[in-house]
Amino acid sequence: MNASLSRAAAALLRWGRGAGGGGGLPGVGVRAASSGGQAEQLDALVKKDKVVVFLKGTPEQPQCGFSNAVVQILRLHGVRDYAAYNVLDDPELRQGIKDYSNWPTIPQVYLNGEFVGGCDILLQMHQNGDLVEELKKLGIRSALIDEKNQDSK
């Protein structure tokens, strides 16, 4: 029986929600898999939250420099409420998300259910202002807008 997505649920961290990190485990809504349903479940997973990232490690303790870069960029923009899945906790998730996204590496970033890219693309979006715009479309106001306004006063 494929319990990988249940394990993925257990690896979910809702950053910034409640005390410390790591709250929000129950009610994730990820069904236990029947065979062949992994793509469906990952589809549900990436659409469940506006910002979804697949990392090596956690936002509190990233275990990869590239995954850490994603965490730091989101932090810079003040994005607190995002779903983070630790692929190191679950080998089936680690391979499954690569198959689902058709992307060979981790980290992976989804915005509004749509695959955006990895660390390089997110960094590019951060540097050229696209990330602020994409977050705005999701109703998330980047913290860097306020900082920019502050600096120009």
Q: Of residues 4, 5, 56, 82, which one binds another protein by CB under 8 A?
A: 56
* 63 binds another protein per the rule CB under 8 A: yes
* 126 binds another protein per the rule CB under 8 A: yes
Considering beta carbons, is residue 38 or 67 the nearer one to another protein?
A: 67
Pairing outcome for strands 13-14 and 83-86:
antiparallel
Among 78, 50, 101, smallest CA distance to 148 is for 78
Token pair, residue 16, equals: 């910034």
Interaction residues for another protein, span 13-32 (CB under 8 A): none
Q: Quickly count: other Cβ atoms within 10 Å of residue 145's Cβ.
A: 14
Among 127, 65, 56, smallest CA distance to 88 is for 56
Considering beta carbons, is residue 41 or 90 the nearer one to another protein?
A: 90
Q: Of residues 39, 60, 81, 124, which one binds another protein by CB under 8 A?
A: 124
Considering beta carbons, is residue 34 or 120 the nearer one to another protein?
A: 120
* 132 binds another protein per the rule CB under 8 A: no
Q: How far is the CB of 121 from another protein (least distance, A)?
A: 5
- How many Å apart are CA 87 and CA 12, to the nearest integer? 10
- How many Å apart are CA 50 and CA 141, to the nearest integer? 13
Considering beta carbons, is residue 53 or 116 the nearer one to another protein?
A: 116
* 73 binds another protein per the rule CB under 8 A: yes
Buried b (16+ CB within 10 A) or exposed e, 58-84: bbeebebebbbbbbebbeebbbeebbb
Q: Which residues make up the interface to another protein (CB under 8 A)?
A: 56-57, 61-69, 72-73, 75-76, 88, 102-105, 115-121, 123-127, 143-144, 147
